[in-house]
Structure 1
Amino acid sequence: MNRVQQIGDVAEIMLDYVENKKTHQTDKVLRVPTGSYTDPDQWRAEMELVFKRAPLMLAFTSELPNPGDYKAMEAVGVPVLINRAKDGTVRAFLNVCSHRGAPVANDGHGNCPRFTCKYHGWTFGQDGKLIGISEASTFGEVNKAERGLRELPCEERAGMIFVCLTPNAPLDLDRHFRGFLDDFEALDFANWTYMGSRVIEGANWKIAFDGYLEGYHFASLHPTTINPRTPSNCAHYEGFGPNIRIGFPQRRIADVLKDIPREEWGNQENNGYDFVRIFFPNVSCFVAPEITQVAQLFPGPTPDKNRTVLNYLRREPIRDEEDRANVEAAMNFFRDVTYTEDYVIGLEIQRGLESGAHDDLVFGKNERGNQYFHEWLNWYLEDDISAPEPVM
C-alpha cells in the first residue's frame, strides 16, 4: 500500500471516530511507577541507554543550507558541532578541542571555512582534521592525524540531520524509522525555510513528552485554543518502530471529506484532519499550514527538569519585514500556548509525583500513544536487543 492510500484509510477511520464518538483503544491500561519520573538512577540510565544510543534529530537541512554553515549546540550535556563542508557533506563532531578541551565554536549558527579554539588558537578543518597549532615551533611534537575533532555518527535524511551522541556507534535510520521518513520526503521538508526557535523549560522530560502523545486533555486543558478545532479524546495511532504518527480529526472532517473523492482523502492533511509526528525519544512535529512547530525535548540538567527547543519552519521563505514580524508573533504565540497550557501543569505534576501521593500513574486504553512510548522506553532500558520489540 502506498503512502496516500495508507493515510486515506486513516482518514476514513478518523471520520468514523468523529461520527460515532469513538477513539483508538487498546485492550488494557498500563501502570507506570512514579519513580520513572523522579528516580535519579533511572534518569542516568535513560541518558546512557536511550539518548546516547538512539538517533537524535538535532538540526534541519534548512539550518545549514550553504557550504561552511554550522550549528553548535548542547544535547543532554554533550557539546555538539554540526557543519556542512564545501562538497555539501554534513558531519557532526564533539565540540571539544583536542588540546585542552575548550569549544572550537560558540553555540548557535554561523559560517566559516575552519574552526579555531578561542583558548589557544588551534585550528580544525571542516572535516574535523587538525590543521594548525599556534606557535608550533615551541609546542613540541604532535601527530596532527591523531588530534582531530572526535566525530559522531551523522546522517542527513528527509530535510533533517540525525546524530548519535556516541562516537563509532551504529546509526541505522532505516531500522529506527521503518519508512516513517517517507512522510517528510513527501512534504519536501528539505526545501522548507527555517524561521527560528524559542526555548522553554519544564519538568521531567517524560512528563512533558506525555502531553504530546494524546488528545485526551484537549477539552480541559485547551478549551479555547485546540478544542474548538479538534475534539478531545479522539485520536488514531500508528507505530513505525518506536516512532508514532498520531492522527487528530478536525470537528469538520465530515463536511470536508464528503465533497472530496475517496482516493484523494490521503492528500488532505490540515483539511479535515491533522497529524502530530513523534520521533522517539524526544521530538514532536506538528505540520500546520501557517507554520510548523518541531519540539526537541532535552532532559536535564537534573531529573526534574527538561529544556525544550521549539523550532519553526514553513514552506515559503520570508517575503518582507511585515511578514517577518508576523512570523515572530506566531512563534511567540505558539511558545506561550505550549508553556502556559502544557508546561506549567507539568511542573505541578512534578511536585505531585515527588510528594509520594501515589506509587504509580495509569494510562488508559484510550492513551495508546503514551503506553507505546513507555513500552519502547522500557525496551531500551532493558538493554537486550534479543527482547521482542513492542508493536502498536
Structure 2
Amino acid sequence: MSLIQAYGNAAEAMISYVDNHTTDLAGSVMPVPVKNYTDPEIFERELDLIFKRLPLLAALTIEMPKPGDFKTLSMVGKPVLLTRGKDGVARAFLNVCTHRGNKLAMEKTGNCSRFSCAYHAWTYSNDGRLLGIAERAKFGEVDTSTLNLTALPCQEVAGLIFVTLTPGVEMDMPAFLGGMLEDLEGQKFKDWYYVGSKEIEGANWKIAYDGYLEGYHFSAAHPKTIAPRSYTNIMHFDIFGPHMRVGYPTFSIGKLKDLPREEWGQHENDGYDFVRTLFPNVSIFVAPELTQIAQLLPGPTAAENRTVLHYLAKVAPVNEEEEARLQSFSQFIRDVVNEEDYMLGLKVQEGLASGALDHVVFGRNERGNQVFHKWVDYYLRNDPTAPRPNP
C-alpha cells in the first residue's frame, strides 16, 4: 500500500468518526499506577532499559549536513559528540577524552576535522581515532588503538540521526521503525531548512508524552489555538509496533466528500493533520508553515523532563524578513506547547505526587496512550520471550 493510500484510508476513517460522533476506540479502559510517574526506582529502570538501550533521535541531518560538521549534546546524563566524516558518514561518540576523562568538544556545533582536549592537548580525528599524544616521548608506551573515542551505535535514516547510548548494542533502524520508516522517508526532511531549536522543561517524561497522543484535551486546554481548527476527542491511530501516526480531523474535513476518493490521501493539513510519534520520546507535527519535531529527554529526576523543540521549513527563507517570520512563528509554537501543555503537565505532576490517587485511568478514546504505556511496560519487563503488546 502506498503512503497516499494509507493516508486516504485514515481520512476515510476520520470522516466516519466525525459523521457518527465517535473515534478510534480501544477495547476497554486502562488503569496505570501513579507510581509509574513518580517512583525513582521505576524511573531508573526506564533510563536503563529504554533510554540507554533503544535508538534515540540525536540530531537532524540538516543540522550537520557537511563533512566536518559536529554537534554536542547531553542525553540522559551522557555527553554525546556527533560528527560527520569526510566520507559523509554520521558517527557518534561519548564526548570524553580517553586520557583523563575531560569533556572533549566544548562548542555546541561547528565544523572541524579534529578535536584537541583542552586539558592535555590529546588530539582525535572526527572519526574518533586518537591522532596524537602531547609530548609522547615523555608519556610512555601505550597502544593508541585502544584509546580511541568510545563509539556509540549510530544510524542515519530519513533525514534523522539516531544514537544508542550504550556502546556495542545492536542497532537496526529499519527493523526498529518498521512501517513508520516509509512514512518518515516520504517527508524528505534532509531537504528542508533548519530554522533552529528551543528548549522547555516539564514534568515526568510520560506525562509530557501523553499529551502528544490524544486530542481529548483540545477544547479545554487549547480553546484559542487548536480547538478553533480541529475536532476535540476524535483521533485515528495507525500503529507500527511502539510508533504511531495519529490523525486529527479538522473542521474542513467534510469537503473531502466532494473530491474523488483516491485524492483524500493528498490532503494532510487540509482536512486532517497527523502527529507522528517515535517511541520512546519523539513527536513530529508536519505543517506547511513550520514543522515541529519534539525530542523529550527524561530527568534529571522522575518528576522532570527537558524537551528540545526543533523547527524546520520546507523552503529556505529568501531574505531577512522571511527568516524573522519563521523565528517569530517558532517562538509562538514553542509558547503554545509550553504554556498550554507543559504547564498543565506540571500541575498533573503535583497532583500525582500528592497521594490523592493510586492510579490514573485512560479511556477507550485514549487508545494511543494505552499503546504507549503497554510498550513502556513491555520494555521494563526486560524479557525477550514476552509477547509484544497487542495494539
* 2:68 paired with 1:63: no
Deviation above 3 Å: which 4+ runs of structure 1? none
* 2:35 paired with 1:35: yes
Q: How many residues are aligned here?
A: 391
Aligned to 1:368: 367
- 1:264, CA displacement in angstroms? 1.6
Contact map agreement 1:276 1:285 (CA 8 A) in 2? yes
Q: Which amino acid aligns with 1:384?
A: D
Aligned to 1:23: 23
Contact map agreement 1:73 1:107 (CA 8 A) in 2? no
Q: How does 1:1-392 map to 2 (within 5 A)?
A: 1-255=1-255, 257-392=256-391
Q: Distance in 2 between matches of 1:55 and 1:78?
A: 14
Q: Distance in 1 between matches of 2:187 and 2:43?
A: 35
Contact map agreement 1:18 1:251 (CA 8 A) in 2? no
Over residues 262-282 of structure 1, what are the superposed CA-to-partner deviations in whole Å (9 max), with x where a residue is unaligned? 112112111111100000000
Q: Distance in 1 between matches of 2:289 and 2:106?
A: 32
- 1:177, CA displacement in angstroms? 1.1
Q: Which amino acid aligns with 1:213?
A: L
Q: Which amino acid aligns with 2:347?
A: E
Over residues 103-159 of structure 1, what are the superposed CA-to-partner deviations in whole Å (9 max), with x where a residue is unaligned? 111251110011111111111011100001112222222211110000011110000
Runs of 5+ unmatched residues, structure 1 = none
Over residues 12-60 of structure 1, what are the superposed CA-to-partner deviations in whole Å (9 max), with x where a residue is unaligned? 0011111222111011111111000100000000000000111111111
- 1:344, CA displacement in angstroms? 0.7
- 1:160, CA displacement in angstroms? 0.3
Q: Distance in 1 between matches of 2:113 and 2:175?
A: 34
Deviates more, 1:107-116 or 1:83-92: 107-116
Among the aligned pairs, what percent are the same residue?
53
- 1:391, CA displacement in angstroms? 2.5
Deviates more, 1:3-12 or 1:276-285: 3-12
Provide the alpha-carbon RMSD of the alignment. 0.9
Q: Which amino acid aligns with 1:217?
A: H
Q: Which amino acid aligns with 1:121?
A: A
Contact map agreement 1:205 1:299 (CA 8 A) in 2? yes
- 1:318, CA displacement in angstroms? 2.4
- 1:175, CA displacement in angstroms? 2.0
Q: Distance in 1 between matches of 2:308 and 2:322?
A: 23
Q: 2:149 aligns to what SS in structure 1?
A: coil
Q: Distance in 2 between matches of 1:179 and 1:351?
A: 37
Deviates more, 1:96-105 or 1:171-180: 171-180
Q: Which amino acid aligns with 2:48?
A: E
TM-score with structure 2 setting the length:
0.98
Runs of 5+ unmatched residues, structure 2 = none
Q: Distance in 2 between matches of 1:313 and 1:391?
A: 34
Over residues 154-177 of structure 1, what are the superposed CA-to-partner deviations in whole Å (9 max), with x where a residue is unaligned? 110000001111101011212211
Q: Distance in 1 between matches of 2:293 and 2:184?
A: 13
Q: 1:310 aligns to what SS in structure 2?
A: strand
Q: Distance in 2 between matches of 1:328 and 1:347?
A: 27
